[in-house]
């Protein structure tokens, strides 16, 4: 197995890690998973070892890889994740097709499995993504709203979820893709404590066992010079999902999420990275599809789901310093908040974050790093280990 193909398989792992369908977090991680999937195919395409000659047919033999990798985060604990990833190019396009499946198990006895397929058509003008998975996840439920998060009292919850996603995007300008996304999440949750200390920790049965199903726009602008270790460029995403009963949803509401990342090569070995995120859920959404503080590339140092409500915002700055050919260091800080509606963000509860981390270059071809971070939040701290940068 070549080092190039190993690096491509590692590059595909984040989309599986982000896509495991927990009832409390799957919806918030879908956008990251979809973007990472397209990024993985780009990395694979650029590392086939062939010259980029437009007159030369872009062919490759099917290549199947199996790669394990450890993980840790404050929500699920430490664990092991593995993926089997197949790279192939049946239509000789710029981007190879990628099909994969993965599984994970963590120290809090959470487990799950997922599969995906990503492909490009019409000379890379059209991107398509399919995803499906199942997970049995043990998490802590703190309640809804800033006061519930500050209270720091939780009940143990078992979340079982089946998830499906389909997305198509068409390139309308350089680096600019517009399309639509459908996603479904079928949830079967159970609170382990029958009579919680606080009444708001006892959720109604119609929310614990329910389904959401919706469709909406998906827009991406990506001018980064590297998908996994960008030095310059921008990555902007906007996703809106309208859940309606005609599509089989038990709840009628909509959810919008937007992210903006920018990268600036300030020095020869140092990069300034900026991140901003915004989430809004209309009235009528279930507890597991509210805005989760600390989701995706938002602020570290918080257990995802401790702070949840109908709106959230986050801003973050990170300095990425290359130390030598293999090692690097990062320093980050940011602030954000949650509120009970998008119109109340001006009075949101402010939640700060700061920390530092180490990086190890796992692949020279893709620039992807192994990541170890320590972060401090409001009355909390956390250690993270994973693949690729947070944003």
What is the distance between the alpha carbons of residues 245 and 13, in angstroms, rounded to a whole number? Answer: 34
- The DSSP code sequence of 101-120 is EEEEEETTS-EEEEEEEEEE
| Tokens (6 digits) for 299 | 């602020």
Q: Model pTM?
A: 0.84
Tens digit of pLDDT for each residue in 5-23? 444 545 555 555 444 444 4
Q: How much of the chain exceeds pLDDT 70, in percent? A: 83
Residues, the chain, total?
391
CATH number of the domain where residue 26 is located: 2.40.160.50
Residue 17: DSSP 8-state: H
pLDDT at 337 over 90: yes
Tens digit of pLDDT for each residue in 265-323? 999 999 999 999 999 999 999 999 999 988 776 889 998 888 999 999 999 999 999 99
Neighbours of 301 (CB within 10 A): 25
Q: Write the burial class of residue 346 (CB in 10 Å: 0-12 exposed, 13-18 middle, 19+ buried).
A: exposed
Domain extent for 279 = 3-387
Q: How many domains does the chain have?
A: 1
Do residues 376 and 354 make contact, with C-beta atoms less than 8 angstroms apart? yes
Q: Report the pLDDT value the prediction gives residue 83, as an integer from 0 to 100.
A: 84
Tens digit of pLDDT for each residue in 147-179? 888 888 888 889 899 999 999 999 999 999 999
């Amino acid at each position: 197995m070549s080092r190039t193909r190993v690096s491509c398989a590692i590059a595909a792992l984040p989309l599986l890690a982000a896509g495991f369908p927990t009832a409390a977090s799957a919806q918030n991680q879908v956008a990251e998973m979809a973007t990472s999937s397209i990024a993985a195919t780009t990395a694979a395409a650029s590392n086939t070892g062939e010259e980029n000659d437009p007159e030369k047919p872009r062919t490759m033999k099917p290549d199947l890889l199996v790669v394990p990798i450890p993980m840790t985060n404050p929500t699920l604990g430490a664990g092991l994740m593995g993926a089997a990833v197949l790279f192939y190019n049946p239509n000789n396009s710029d981007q190879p097709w990628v099909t994969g499946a993965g599984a994970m198990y963590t120290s809090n006895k959470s487990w799950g499995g997922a599969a995906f397929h990503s492909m490009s058509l019409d000379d890379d003008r059209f991107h398509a993504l399919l995803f499906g998975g199942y997970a049995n996840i043990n998490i802590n439920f703190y309640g809804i709203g800033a006061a519930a998060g500050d209270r720091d009292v939780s009940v143990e919850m078992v979340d079982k979820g089946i998830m499906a996603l389909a997305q198509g995007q068409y390139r309308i300008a350089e680096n600019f893709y517009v399309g639509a996304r459908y996603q479904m999440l079928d949830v079967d949750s159970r609170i382990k404590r029958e009579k919680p200390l606080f009444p708001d920790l006892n959720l109604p049965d119609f929310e614990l066992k329910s389904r959401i199903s919706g469709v909406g726009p998906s827009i991406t602008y990506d001018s980064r010079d590297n998908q996994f270790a960008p030095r310059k460029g921008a990555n902007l995403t906007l996703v809106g999902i309208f859940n309606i009963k005609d599509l089989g949803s038990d709840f009628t509401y909509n959810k919008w999420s937007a992210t903006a990342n920018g990268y600036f090569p300030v020095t020869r070995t140092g990069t300034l990275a900026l991140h901003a995120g915004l989430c809004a859920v209309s009235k009528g959404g279930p507890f597991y599809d509210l805005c989760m503080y600390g989701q995706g590339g938002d602020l570290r140092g918080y257990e995802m789901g401790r702070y949840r409500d109908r709106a959230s915002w986050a801003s973050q700055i990170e300095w990425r310093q290359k130390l030598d050919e293999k090692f690097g260091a990062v320093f980050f800080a940011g602030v954000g908040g949650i509120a009970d509606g998008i119109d109340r963000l001006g009075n949101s509860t402010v939640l700060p974050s700061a920390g530092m981390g180490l990086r190890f270059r796992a692949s020279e071809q893709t620039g992807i790093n192994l990541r170890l971070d320590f972060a401090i939040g409001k009355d909390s701290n956390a250690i993270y280990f994973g693949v690729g940068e947070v944003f």
